[in-house]
Amino acid sequence: MSQNGKGDKPRFYPNEEYRDNYNKIFGEKMNLVDYKGRSLELGKRVRVEVDIASPEGMLYRNSIVKLDEFDNKNNKIRVTDNTGKVWWVEPAQVSCSFL
C-alpha cells in the first residue's frame, strides 16, 4: 500500500547553493558565553554584573533580567528587566550564576 499523503516524502531537498545563501542571510549560530565561559541561552534568566547607565535609566548590578535575543552583527544581547524595559548589553556584562 503506497502513501500519497502529505508526510510520506520530503518536499524540498536543499542544495549547496541554498545552504550557502542561507548562511549569508542568517549567519552562523552565535555561541555566546558569559564572562566565566558559561553558555547563554534564550529565554533564561541572567544576572547583571555591572551598572549600565543610559538616557532612559539605570540597570543596576545584581539585577535579574531575562535574555530575549542575540544580535550577531554587534555581538550584543537584548535583555528585559522586571519592569519591562529593554536593554542591549554585552555578554561580558551578564552572568548565568545567581549566587
Q: How confident is the model over 10-38, as pLDDT tens digits? A: 566 666 766 666 666 665 555 677 777 78
Mean pLDDT along residues 50-55:
92
* pLDDT the model gives residue 35: 73
pLDDT for res 89: 92
**What residue type is 24 in one-letter code?**
K
Better pLDDT: 64 or 37: 64
What's the pTM value of the predicted model, to 2 decimals? 0.64
Give the model's pLDDT for residue 91: 87
Instruction: Give SS3 for 31.
Output: coil
Cell 531575562 found at: 66
Residue 29, domain member (yes or no): no
Domain annotation covers residue 24? no
CATH code for position 86 = 2.30.30.40
C-alpha separations of 21 from 17, 25, 70, 71, 80 in Å: 6, 6, 21, 19, 32
Q: What's the DSSP call for residue 93?
A: G
- Count of structural domains within the chain: 1
Residue 28 is assigned to a structural domain of this protein: no
pLDDT for position 60? 94
Domain around 66: 35-95
